[in-house]
Amino acid sequence: MTNAELLAEKKARLAKVIALEKPDRTPVILMEDSFCAVHMGVKLSDFCSSLKRENEVMVSSVKAMGPGVDGITAPYGAGNLFPLIFATKVKLPGKELPDNTLWQLDEREIMTVDDYDTIIDKGWGAFQRQYLIEKINYPFDSMMEQLGHGQEFINNFEEAGYLVYSPVVAATVNEQFGGGRSLPKFMRDLFKIPDKVEAALDVIQAETVAVLRQQIRAFKPQVVFLSPARGASAFFSPKLWERFVWKYLKATAEVIIEEGAAADLHIDGDWTRDLEYFKELPKGKCIFETDGTTDIYKIKEVLGDHMAIKGDVSPVLTSLGTPDEVYAYASKIVRDIGPNLILSSGCSLPPNAKVENVKAMISAVTGR
Amino acid sequence: MPAKNNVEVLCVNNLLAHAMVRLDEDSVHYLFKQGIEQGIDSLTLLEEARAGVQKVSELYNCGKYFLGDLIVAAELFQDIACMALETTMAPTTSGLPPIIFGTVEEDIHDIGKNITIGILKSKGFEVDDLGVDVPPLAFVDAVRQTGSSVICLSGLITTAYDSMKKTVSLLDREGLRPGVAVVIGGLVSEEVRRYTGADYWVKDCTTGCQLCDAILHSGPVKKAVHL
Ligand code: B12
């Protein structure tokens, strides 16, 4: 089989799972970035030096795992892009941190309450660029230039026969304030000035969704990753959750689906209370990507005939466990979750995951 | 200063605790200032705020309140504690050595740490918060300087387990290990506890606070047990 044929087979397999049809086998998608650097013996400082470097290293790492892997979540790492999602400074290895230390979000209150008004009056785009450059020293223009090479980064995987699961990445808009104001201050704002926060979020949402539509039209992705990173039900009362998380999560997922892609809902933390809400989204168009905190069996029970499920081999297992333990868990969910499953780690593979454990996870679908 | 009026004192006190439970920032601040103006001792007001946090934790434990509510309660309590400190020189804590608390090296997750610290403080414990990405040596230095017998390590990423392990080893090498109970929390388990060499692991702040209380008051009698 040529790489092009292999890629077509993998895309078709994924499409079947998302549409809730029966695939020939469970697809396995690796969600990883820092792990690839460690796997390839590349220092994290070198890895993070550019999106191009991240892409090169990630392509080599996926190839080294063998053709059984269907694809990778994103074409480059997350560390450099965090400020765009969380409005927070990120400390990078080789810059603010030692060469082989994982990047760190340096969350503190940088946005002010007055910034809500500025955003409402002047719009998000102009504010965001100036904020990132002036307040957190983010190399905004260089990053935009690098992101402009997105298609090349995707091609590097596809030419090798691996799909890029989600070439377009989005986060729900509340994260901009959860990070920029800092989570404690943002939470206080939700009690003290909820109307103002909502008005500012509506402005960000309108602009973000317009950009997202353009990106989807440009890249024509099969799937778009959408992270409501700190939107877990465990954080909010039902009233606040509905108003400040679900409203934006649902609206953004609907736009993704309207533009012809499937929405990968990246669900970290405990969302058990609100699983029923996800039935409001169209059937066969979403993937519930669990990090393992929301129990995968519970997700199947509530949403199993509504959307595909991605997950959820735990980072504790891939880093501290043995290949046999990983294989046993992965095989168990492949069997129990059935044709709805996209096998993956629960959120990212940790940098200290053992290579033989990742191989054991893959072999649960490709055979040992 | 206006004369103390017991009826008003009662009113302000009750209202302050209630405002804490409603997580109503403006009222909490207003009522504290009002109380001080009425001549109520700031420590009495602080006690009221504590009672409010206590109620919020109870509501959280029975599923009626959520993590965000705990975060806000801890923040508001912190405000009141600062305001109280400005108006009094009296000690606000139990007199026991502080609990040393930090998110371990390489890890920056601090939401759980901050909630737990907020609740510990509201229970009258003194806590030395070392922040995030705390190297092993900083924990050791803090134990040495304060004579503390409890150190709390928070960690949610897998690389944090190695940092916890290094911290425990360094305490050992420096001869401090026998006098110190090491509690780990966050994304931890019995397996992680064994790997790191810590004494206790907890997955929630309520158990964590009870554990610290038990250790400080009766010593680390039940080592290697998860409460
Ligand atoms: C919020 C969050 C973030 C925020 C953190 C903001 C902040 N200031 O803390 C942001 C977005 C910045 C973030 C960043 C990252 N995160 Co994160 N994050 C989470 C998330 C969604 C929730 C964590 C949380 O706050 N929970 C709520 C709190 C209240 O719970 P808690 O911490 O357990 O605390 C409770 C108890 O444990 C206790 N407690 C906590 N500590 C202690 C300590 C003691 C001694 C005691 C007594 C009690 C106690 O008190 C709390 C109340 O009961 C989790 C998902 C999850 N499943 O946990 C991922 C998660 C922790 N993150 C993860 C990852 C991988 C990352 C990143 C590396 C992402 C990346 N690819 O770059 C970076 C971290 C960079 C770094 N160097 O640390 C992984 C970790 C996986 C692993 N084990 O390695 C998780 C588990 C997601 C996943 N499944 O993959 N993250």
Ligand 1 shell residues, CB under 6 Å: A 78-79, 102-105, 107, 183, 229-230, 268-269, 291, 293, 315, 346-348, 350; B 67, 106-113, 115-116, 152-154, 156-158, 183-187, 202-205, 208
Residue B13: per-residue pLDDT: 58
Domains of chain B: 6-87 (1.10.1240.10), 99-218 (3.40.50.280)
Q: Is the pLDDT of residue A53 over 70?
A: yes
User: Going by C-beta distance under 8 Å and a sequence separation of 6 or more, which residues neighbour residue A168?
Assistant: A212, A215, A216, A219, A221, A224, A225, A261
Q: pLDDT digits over A72-90, tens only?
A: 999 999 999 999 999 999 9
Residue A118: per-residue pLDDT: 97
pLDDT confidence bin for A194, thresholds 50/70/90: very high
Average pLDDT over residues B150-171: 96
User: Going by C-beta distance under 8 Å and a sequence separation of 6 or more, which residues neighbour residue B208?
Assistant: B116, B152, B183, B185, B202
Q: pLDDT digits over B126-157, tens only?
A: 999 999 999 999 999 999 999 999 999 999 99
ipTM of the complex model: 0.89
Tokens 């924990």, residue located: B139
Distance from CA of A24 to the nearest CA of B (A): 34
Chain B CB contacts of A352 under 8 Å are 158-159, 162
Q: pLDDT digits over A196-219, tens only?
A: 999 999 999 999 999 999 999 999
What is the Cα–Cα distance from A254 to A261, expressed in whole angstroms? 10
Closest ligand 1 atom, residue B152 Cα: 45
Sign of the alpha-carbon dihedral angle for A227, A233, A236, A240:
positive
For residue B29, count other CB atoms closer than 10 A to its CB: 15
Pairs across A and B, CB distance < 8 A: 71
**C-alpha of A45 from chain center:** 22
Residue B225: per-residue pLDDT: 41
Any bridge partners for residue B181, and if so which? B150
Select the residue of B68, B159, B187 nearest A102 (Cβ to Cβ): B159
* Residue B62, CA distances (Å) to A266, A275, B48, B87, B209 in order: 28, 20, 21, 35, 17
Tokens 């994924």, residue located: A14
| CATH assignment, A3-79+148-366 | 3.20.20.210
pLDDT confidence bin for B115, thresholds 50/70/90: confident
The mean pLDDT of chain A is 96
Distance from CA of B200 to the nearest CA of A (A): 18
What are the sequence ranges of the domains in chain A? Answer: 3-79+148-366
Are B32 and B47 a contacting pair, CB within 8 Å?
no
pTM of the model: 0.87
In this structure, chain B runs to a length of 227
